Structure 1
Amino acid sequence: MKSFSKALIVCACSAAMMCGCSNGVNNSNASAELYKRNVLAISWMENSAEYRALCYQAYNGAYEHIKASLKQKSSKPRAIILDLDETVINNIPAEASINSVIKDGQSFNDSWLSWESMARADAMPGAVEFLKKVDKLGVDIFYVSNRSCRNVEFTNKNLKALKFPFKNAVKCKDNTSNKKVRFDNVMEKYNVVAFLGDNATDFPINIYGVSGDDRNKLVDKNSNQFGVKYFVLPNPVYGEWYSQIDPNLLKQSHKKMVELVDKSVKHEPVLKEAISK
């Protein structure tokens, strides 16, 4: 998933583990403060066995569901829809590189477009094997991504270099990050038996543009589909979840973002009082 216009260099789980007090933070070091809050999440994705295990878990669960769907009659050919970034290809080293040097007021998108054009992203653990098995089942694979259409030739080059099955053109971001129209175009002709993504907007649950606790409510409303037809890949580094910290988080200065991220971390007040004495 990639659909934001400014770096989301924040992570609530990292903020909870770093001291990161925002008192006295000024604009000159706010970018570094944000990166500090994100670095543990980045390290977890790059290094932990648990991250790899969750990737395998999602792909294995999706494959078993897809294979089981073949036993059901279908008037349309079967297909799956999946996101690209942090769903089957890994951009976290690029995220880390950009976020470690970007300054307040600089465009994250310019750096990201340069990264796309390099066609250097790696496959996520188990992704190639999973998609090759799906392809052997005769199920069509549609990559529905919010990568730029202007860079789609480089994205195609990247996917082919990684040996991903590549029959259908990538459905890249056109005039909106909302994937609904692209989903509908596929579902018109295909029986879509599974969706995979790292962001709630990668699933057809009408969550695009929704912020705050309403995002949680929509996921709860569709809870019976997750792990059944919808399969989520782990990504604590970036995503639409930032709107649950503040709907306008990415429009803020880095200094204000530091304050909002720190404020978003929930504490256990009784325990905090007890250990502070």
Structure 2
Amino acid sequence: MPLRLPASLLAFALLAGCVATSPRPPEVVSAPATTAPQAAPATVAANDNLNAVAWTQTAIEHDLIYLQTYRDAQAELLAALRDRSWDALARDDRAAPLRGLKPAVVLDIDETVLDNSPYQARLVKSGGEYNEADWAAWCKEETARALPGVVAFTQFAARHGIAVIYISNRAKDLDQATLANLRKAGLPVSGPEAFLGLGTFVEGCEQIGTEKGCRRQLVSRKYRVLMQFGDQIGDFVTVSANNAAGRRRAMAPYLDWVGRRWFVLPNPTYGSWEPALFNNDWSASPAERRQQKIDALRTE
């Protein structure tokens, strides 16, 4: 959601079937007995995001994945701290030598640190789609909860002198609301520089769309990054072509880092994986986008 390309609600949970009203019982009339004709049951169009949001909010498996991820990371963090050559930034993002740099961990915010599923649930119930005004209003409520495991992990990092930095595609003008929400949720915030939102100026680097490469380069000038966390591959590496082949190509050099330097979290409700299925064409109608997603499914 954070200042991403608008995510439709037509995403992922194709098992969310149509809801039908129960037919009225047959009307009893005088003999000879007959059954009154039944009207066709009224239906509500399926919302493709229903199962995804329901899983995110109610499935214990969701919480266990987060706990497992952050506990595994914490178990390896001090070893990464001791290894002076250890760095979790992609080659293109490392803009300064490691020597003498302070240690840090870098985390995305939405669906990595904070749970925004209530916002998604509102859209499912209203039948609406993501828009920047409603998203900004949700952020300003400052009520998103911390996801399982992240508070313990980030507080552990802070206690060991490791800076906790949040790189998010929330707009820069949401910085105060975002920092307040992080603090309320129990996450360590060292100050305004801990949040690098969309629109952060990075001298000598031209940001392309919502890519985070420039902000990662900014972090690299001051810090040796021990670990990165996110729910999109763009949280770790620049994606030149947002299609299936381009996304795999971007990750290919770093597969050995996954689970060691890069920790990827689940997000079935929205993300760059979705527009990759319909050629990133948000001008297409919801029905057209949905059909292209169906066409992308494998049946064998």
Asked if Structure 1 and Structure 2 have the same fold, meaning a TM-score greater than 0.5 normalized by the shorter chain, the answer is yes
For 1:177, the equivalent position in structure 2 comes to 210
Given the alignment of the two structures, is residue 120 of structure 1 paired with residue 143 of structure 2, yes or no?
Answer: yes
TM-score if structure 2 supplies the norm length? Answer: 0.78
1:39 aligns with 2:42: no
Task: State the partner residue of 1:25.
Answer: none
Contact 1:9 1:99 in 2 (8 A): yes
- Which structure exhibits the higher relative contact order, with contacts defined as CA atoms closer than 8 Å and separated by 6 or more residues? 1
Spell out the pairing of 1:1-277 with structure 2 (5 A cutoff). 2-12=2-12, 14-15=13-14, 17-18=15-16, 33=45, 36-73=47-84, 75-103=100-128, 108-169=131-192, 170-174=195-199, 176-203=209-236, 205-207=237-239, 209-268=241-300
What's the offset of the Cα at 1:107?
A: 6.0
SS in 2 for 1:6: coil
User: Structure 1 length as normaliser, TM-score?
Assistant: 0.84
Per residue, is there more helix in 1 or in 2? 1
Contact preservation (8 Å) 2:196, 2:215: yes
Q: Measured at CA, do residues 4 and 252 of structure 1 come closer, stay the same or move farther in structure 2, by a change above 3 Å?
A: farther
Which amino acid letter does the alignment assign opposite residue 260 of structure 1?
Answer: Q
Whole-angstrom CA distance in 2 between matches of 1:210 and 1:248: 8
CA distance in 1, matches of 2:146, 2:283: 31
Let me know the Cα RMSD of the aligned residues.
Answer: 2.0
Structure (1 or 2) with the larger CA radius of gyration: 2
Q: Distance in 2 between matches of 1:237 and 1:107?
A: 11
CA distance 1:5–1:155, change in 2 (3 Å): same
Q: In 1, are the aligned partners of 2:2 and 2:171 still within 8 Å (CA)?
A: no
Q: Structure 2 unaligned runs (5+)? A: 19-43, 85-98, 200-206
Deviation at residue 241 of structure 1 after TM alignment: 0.6
1:208-245 alpha-carbon deviations (Å, 9 max, x no partner): 55323211232233211110100011111100111331
CA offset at residue 164 of structure 1? Answer: 0.9
Q: Show CA shifts across 1:6-29 (max 9, x none).
A: 2332333x22x3457xxxxxxxxx
Tell me whether 135-144 or 73-82 shows the greater mean CA deviation: 73-82
CA contact (8 A) 2:242 2:280 kept: no
Aligned to 1:275: none
Contact preservation (8 Å) 1:160, 1:166:
yes
Count of aligned pairs? 251
**1:212–1:246 CA contact under 8 A, matched in 2:** no
What secondary structure sits across from 1:241 in the alignment?
A: coil
Q: How many Å separate the matches in 2 of 1:96 and 1:143?
A: 25
What percentage of residue pairs aligned between the two structures are identical? 25
SS in 1 for 2:273: helix
Partners of 1:221 and 1:10 in 2: how far apart?
32
